[in-house]
């Protein structure tokens, strides 16, 4: 009977070790998911920052294009005036 009990005990030990291993894997998976969620949140914040910077640069570009157009128009007016004076 001692061997039957020992066999039963070793099966229980194996089951406990398997459960412990599964528990460790679950804990590791939960930690990995948590880390990935934090990384995702950080990346989303970075994307928003970059989108805002891009919007600001686009606004600046539009302002510069407008200024360029205005300066070009003023130069054309001045050139027209110079041409009319020289005639």
pLDDT digits (tens, 9 = 90+) for 6-52: 566 888 899 999 999 999 999 999 999 999 999 999 999 999 999 99
pLDDT at res. 7: 63
Q: Is the pLDDT of residue 63 over 70?
A: yes
Supply the range of the domain harboring residue 59.
1-87
Structural domain count, the chain: 1
What is the rounded CA–CA span in Å between residue 86 and residue 72? 21
Q: What is the DSSP letter of 1?
A: -
Mean pLDDT calculated for residue range 55-62: 98
Distance separating alpha carbons of residues 50 and 43, to the nearest angstrom: 10
The answer, yes or no, to whether residue 87 has pLDDT greater than 80, is: no
For the question of whether the overall pTM of this predicted structure is more than 0.85, the answer is no
Number of residues written out for the chain: 87
Residue 82 has pLDDT above 70, yes or no: yes
């Amino acid at each position: 009977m001692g061997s039957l009990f020992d066999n039963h005990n070793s099966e229980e030990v194996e089951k406990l070790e398997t459960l412990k291993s599964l528990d460790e894997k679950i804990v590791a998976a939960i930690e990995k998911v948590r880390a990935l969620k934090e990384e995702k949140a950080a990346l989303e914040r970075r994307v928003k920052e970059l989108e805002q910077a891009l919007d600001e640069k686009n606004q600046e570009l539009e302002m510069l294009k407008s200024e360029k157009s205005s300066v070009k128009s003023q130069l054309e007016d001045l050139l027209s005036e110079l041409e009319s004076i020289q005639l």
